[in-house]
Copies of this chain bind each other. A is one copy, B any other.
């Protein structure tokens, strides 16, 4: 039996920026009997998934489905696309950008690091300057939406800069694909990575890598210095055969196919619009309660705020969870900042709607009042509803 709170809030609402809630229909789809992966039946499912991923990514090129996390997928792209002996220009503006730097450190790749203050976004000129100063750089890595800081960068503008060089742009779209507008081909992103457990409404377990023309060309030239499983060429070869090189997580694959069908049935632009409106309502509600946002350049997939003095992170989030069933995320420590205990974050990705968001805002407000903050009850939900306006649908 699951745990239910005994109060006004009753249901569990997973509003962490990954993993996120999985729709009931997808859970049931994943509960279907296991089929073997070397069958026409699986091939049809996998082929359909691959086509839907292309439409999701807005690309004519392959989008590879890799067993693992978003990190697995990013690592595969990073090690498969770097030219041996060349440099990587690596943008970090939070915990995840720093992780991508760590991966290149581990593989002994020389890096030109662009470290941006947490909460801010890289400026395209910074990347242009780095490319000019380092003509031997063969990749640029960046996060579209930096989950740890709830900030989004202008990938389109950066891609325009990178396209003028010989370097490839590898984008961490883990909390952007399916949440924020991303146009892989139109913007000229060379490699775009995401994971299943964010906006794609699946449990963790699948990573995805989209490859553009230039990336496909690069794959032909480069000997990967990663592990067997991280060699994108293996995955690409199988992909052309509507197949996978290694035994895939069959249940997740069929669940992901259905989740993408759900997204397409709603219309991807409608999903982007909802995510943006949930975020706008949440930002307004946080500000109406006197909270300071953590991002100067906020992402619409996740919203974060600093705690006011006197609010203790672990107690606050435990109360949200135990009294209201609302699961929010805390902060993380990294090289650029120590935000553990100082902030909390709420997701707008995937299977979450205005009702869940009103529940979270009401719970957050109530707990802040409980902890002595001077807030008039109803402030948060009214601020969100006012932003959403009459045409809330």
Could you tell me the distance between the alpha carbons of A1 and B23 in the complex, rounded to whole angstroms?
Answer: 10
Closest to A266 in B: B6
Cβ-defined contact, A393 with B355, below 8 A: no
What 8 A-B pairs come out closest when comparing CB atoms? A355-B359, A378-B382, A10-B353, A323-B393, A382-B382, A378-B385, A7-B393, A369-B390
Tell which of B261, B366, B391 touches A370, judged by Cβ atoms closer than 8 Å: B391
A2 near B: Cβ within 8 Å? Answer: yes
Q: Which residues on the B side are within 8 Å of A324 (C-beta)?
A: 392-393
Could you tell me the distance between the alpha carbons of A238 and B260 in the complex, rounded to whole angstroms?
Answer: 51
Cβ-defined contact, B359 with A354, below 8 A: yes
CB distance from A331 to the nearest CB of B (A): 24
A170 near B: Cβ within 8 Å? Answer: no
Q: Which residues on the B side are within 8 Å of A362 (C-beta)?
A: 354-355, 358, 385, 388, 392
Cβ-defined contact, A365 with B385, below 8 A: yes
CB distance from A376 to the nearest CB of B (A): 8
Could you tell me the distance between the alpha carbons of A266 and B24 in the complex, rounded to whole angstroms?
Answer: 24
Q: Which residues on the B side are within 8 Å of A380 (C-beta)?
A: 385
- Given A8-B277, A9-B393, A11-B356, 8 other A-B contacts at CB below 8 A? A2-B25, A6-B271, A8-B353, A323-B393, A324-B393, A358-B381, A379-B382, A380-B385
Assuming the contacts A8-B277, A358-B358, asked whether A377 and B366 have C-beta atoms less than 8 A apart, the reply is no
Cβ-defined contact, A265 with B1, below 8 A: yes
Binding site for B on A (CB under 8 A): 1-2, 4-11, 13, 23-25, 258, 261-262, 265-267, 270-271, 274, 277-278, 319, 323-325, 351-356, 358-359, 362-363, 365-366, 369-370, 376-386, 388-393
> Can you list 20 A-B pairs with a CB-CB distance of less than 8 A?
A2-B24, A2-B25, A4-B265, A8-B277, A8-B354, A8-B388, A9-B392, A9-B393, A10-B266, A10-B352, A11-B355, A354-B359, A354-B362, A358-B359, A370-B390, A377-B390, A378-B381, A380-B385, A381-B381, A382-B385
Interface of A is mostly: helix
Cβ-defined contact, A386 with B392, below 8 A: no
Tell which of B1, B278, B351, B355 touches A25, judged by Cβ atoms closer than 8 Å: B1
Tell which of B266, B351, B358, B389 touches A355, judged by Cβ atoms closer than 8 Å: B358
